[in-house]
Amino acid sequence: MKNKYYLKFTGKYLLRVVTLLIAVSVVSFILVSLSPVDPVQQYVGAVPNVSVEQRAKIAEYWGLNDPPVQRFLAWAGSVLHGDFGVSLLYRRPVLDIIAEKFTASLALMMTAWLFSGILGFGTGCAMGMFHGKWPDKILKKLCLVMCSIPTFWIGIVFLMVFSVGLGWFPMGMSVPQGVPAEKVTILQRIHHLILPALTLSFLSFANVALHTREKLVDVLESDYVLFAEARGETKWSVLKRHGFRNILLPAVTMQFGSFSELFGGSVLAENVFSYPGLGAAASAAGMNSDVPLLLGITLFSALFVFAGNMLANIIYGIVDPQIREGYRNE
């Protein structure tokens, strides 16, 4: 019975992810086909003396003259075989690049994610507890200001203050310059990670905090908190027993739903800090008409966001008995 339930659950998600990926690949392929990107020009690059005939031959060889549907099927066919093509920019297989860049990005995104999640939740709880009093008022204004600051701008400000002005952090990159890769220490990596991670967490920190505050205020004004107080529970006990439990679910939603923002934000943050992650690679692929890499990253990011939402759904089922029951009855 239980096994059957898990099987059904897994099957449902597999079906969803497959349809999602098909839809994303079709749409992004159409967009790329419609764009003025010329892969031949990109491939030939700055090499002089490539005649028009030679260009036509390359185009013919790549099948660029075939109808779009045929081209899509050819691309999708090789993708299904695990061949995402070769990046025109890096001259290496797309999958290798995604794997390499994603590891760098993952460290950055997860740090920012944990940072904004934990601190945002804590700040939100503090604001909710002091609802209407001065700590709440001050923190709330700070959060609203933080919400309105664009990521790339705060990144530049951080660089100016902490790197240029105070010299606490390096100017960018993920490792120090001129040091062989095997000699880079973990501390050096963390040192390079802090500023971009702070920048990336800045936006969602305020969002999480404000959202948590709103939710906690709702909960503390609810009937069941009133009744808990009527049963003699102290303020702290009410917060611990009923408050956290009831704001956890929306916080989880926010946190895992923010995977897409996180990815979008990493494009900006990585560019400002010249951090060699997936975000930087995505914008480089776009700027340099690296079609295979761009499509590969698009598919990968869809998978990444999907994973975030799926995790949120699973955690829902664990936290909320009503949703657990709902899953079981599906």
Partner 1 sequence: MKRQPVLSVEDLSVSFRMYDTGLEQADLQVISNLTLDVCPGEIVAIAGSSGSGKSLLAHAVMGLLPGNASVTGKILYKGMLLSQKEKEKLRGKEIALVPQSVSYLDPLMTVGAQVTGRTPDEKTLKAQKEIFQRFHLKEGTEKLYPFQLSGGMARRILVSTAVLSNAQIILADEPTPGLDLEMAVEALKIFRELADEGKSVLLITHDIDLAFHIADRVAVFYAGTTVEIADAEDFQKGPKALRHPYSKALWEALPQNGFKPIPGFQPYAKDLPKGCLFSPRCPYKTEECEKEIPMTKVRGGYVRCIHAD
Q: Which is nearer to partner 1, 147 or 323 (CB)?
A: 323
Could you tell me the two tokens for 45? 């690059």
Nearest Cα to 197, choosing from 277, 127, 254?
277
Q: Which is nearer to partner 1, 44 or 248 (CB)?
A: 248
How far does CA 163 lie from the centroid of its chain? 25
CB of 234 vs partner 1, minimal distance in Å? 8
CA distances from 163 to 60, 189, 199, 202, 266 (A): 50, 16, 13, 17, 19
- CB-based contact 197:155 (threshold 8 Å): no
Q: Which is nearer to partner 1, 100 or 229 (CB)?
A: 229
Beta bridge partners of 93: 86
Which amino acid would we find at residue 111? T
Could you tell me the two tokens for 97? 């690049």
DSSP 8-state secondary structure symbol assigned to residue 91: S
CB of 43 vs partner 1, minimal distance in Å? 58
Q: Which is nearer to partner 1, 83 or 320 (CB)?
A: 320
CB of 244 vs partner 1, minimal distance in Å? 10
Burial label for 9, CB within 10 Å (0-12, 13-18, 19+), is middle
Give the separation between CA 319 and CA 322, rounded to whole angstroms. Answer: 9
CB of 321 vs partner 1, minimal distance in Å? 4
Which amino acid would we find at residue 239? L
Could you tell me the two tokens for 103? 């590891």
Q: Which is nearer to partner 1, 101 or 242 (CB)?
A: 242
CB of 191 vs partner 1, minimal distance in Å? 42
Which residues of the chain form contacts with partner 1 (CB under 8 A)? Answer: 132, 221-224, 226-233, 237, 241-242, 245-246, 249, 319-322, 325
CB of 256 vs partner 1, minimal distance in Å? 19
Q: Which is nearer to partner 1, 20 or 319 (CB)?
A: 319
